Amino acid sequence: MRVLGINAVFHDPSAALVIDGRVVAAAEEERFSRRKHGKRPVPFSAWEPPEKAARWCLQAAGLEPGDLDAVAYSYDPRLVEPGMKGHDAQWEHLRTLYAQRAPFFLAAALPGLDPGIVRFVPHHVAHAASAALAAPDPGEGDVLVLDGRGEIHSHLAGTYSGGNLSPLYAQRLPHSLGLMYEELTEHLGFLRSSDEYKVMALAAHGRPRFLDEVRVHVRATGDGGFAVDRIDWGALVKARRPGEEWTDDHADLAASVQVRLEEVLLDLAGWLHRRTGSRRLALAGGVALNCVANSRLAESGPYEEVWVQPAAGDAGTALGAALHVARRAGDRIEPMPGADLGRRWDEAELAAWLDAARIPYQRPDDLVATVADALARDQLAAWFQGRGEWGPRALGHRSLLAHPGYADNVERLNAVKGREQFRPVAPMVSAEHAADVFEGPLPSPYMTFVHRVRPGWRDRIPAVVHVDGTARVQTVSRADEPLLADLLDAFRARTGLPVLVNTSLNTAGRPIVDDPRDALECFGSAPIDLLAIGPFVVRRREVFAR
């Protein structure tokens, strides 16, 4: 069964290809269009299909649109009810109309595609499948989906057995933890449906001083669901204008909402576990990108294992929809092979790009040693290797790397990238040394959890220690990432540190670098000392010495 998954209705448009139950390719449209999140999540944009990502997925497998058996679209307009409430309810008819016409939009974008093979998959079912069917043990265990909204719900709790989903509860709109967090994001001067991770980072700088007030408005109902009343944010803290300096009040409000989110998640997970007794939980939906909440759930919740798919937000529904349709057709689903599901270039193609740019470059005898030497000297290294990542995290394929032993590297990297200075940068660590340095859910290959930095290491790797003593860790397994593991070993041999700073290779407001042109543009526009692109190295001093 050859199934192309499509996410297009809200934000983060994406495509994924599943062949005979195996994930072959997955990519977000933003990596091709270079527009952050692909588009804004407004009804007017619901017609736009991720045509570049979809074409690439087919090309990667050597397929034409006419070769597909099905297209799985991660929204079912047949579920939408008239008179729905919400911040854009007056335009709901437009979104629904565009979703209904999606088969024809896709056929126009992908000539040769039969619109009759398009299958609508409910949004939260697609989210659930993106986690539970992509997990290391596909289709077994509980699943919890939380986001802003789907067709008429904002949450799904269920359990999988034999690859089949049994829904147990779905919270109807307008109650939504995701929309509540989006509203807070906007109140704090950030871009809603985009900058929620900034609120999570800001929360670490505050105290949950408004927790009692937030608890009044946000509560679990005891039956598997929750209630979110309208919150007058301005009555708690004055709104922050975009670009304005944040205050302790803003940080305290962020901290209060963050803690309440975690409390409600624990209640929802506890209810689900009491119904099923499962030892395993998979998380999906935009709320599952809140790695602080994930960690509290993993450590204080009832499950032995918590797994989060790296593209847990709406982008992941393209993958989930494809997996769901493939499973319903009888395919045996294989675990997701990793997050490196995007584009790649061979050595000849990379050399051609470098030659076309007319810049000096070398092919060192030992790439890993060359980069490790530069990092040990506190240089910044752009690392462009293999296939691009699936999801919002750079995981050692399109990364900006630095020495973790210098505290001012946080400010340095945030300045290079144009980010707010309150935001942390993350560590990557070799899997065999992770438990020596960090406490928390391990392994953590996708940066979906936060970990406490052990006291003996905080002064040794200050660049990756957030204000609350935590770090969002990526563990690197040699079996999965041999080149990256070699780099970490080489850096440790030079510094005694098994950790590197790993942040995404991009500047603020831009998607993660994806193709060689993106890498060269980013390298040329930011004070990065070295670019390791495939087997080649470009040094800033040589490029700008001419």
Catalytic residues, by residue number, are: 11
Q: Under a CB-based contact definition with an 8 Å cutoff, are residues 197 and 450 in contact?
A: no
Beta bridge partners of 220: 226
Counting beta carbons within 10 angstroms of the beta carbon of residue 363, is it exposed (0 to 12), middle (13 to 18) or buried (19 or more)? exposed
Burial 459-479 (b: 16+ CB within 10 A, else e): ebbbbbbbebebbbbbbbbee
Calculate the alpha carbon distances from 306 to 77, 136, 234, 299, 529 in Å.
31, 11, 36, 9, 38
Calculate the alpha carbon distances from 56 to 11, 312, 388 in Å.
19, 21, 13
Task: Tokens for 461, please give them.
Answer: 């790797």
Task: Tokens for 426, please give them.
Answer: 């993350």
Task: Tokens for 51, please give them.
Answer: 């045509």
The region that residue 382 occupies, defined by phi over 0 for left and psi between -120 and 50 for alpha, beta otherwise, is beta
Counting beta carbons within 10 angstroms of the beta carbon of residue 213, is it exposed (0 to 12), middle (13 to 18) or buried (19 or more)? middle
Q: Under a CB-based contact definition with an 8 Å cutoff, are residues 461 and 319 in contact?
A: no
Q: Is the peptide bond before 174 cis (omega within 30 degrees of 0)?
A: yes
Q: Under a CB-based contact definition with an 8 Å cutoff, are residues 72 and 50 in contact?
A: no
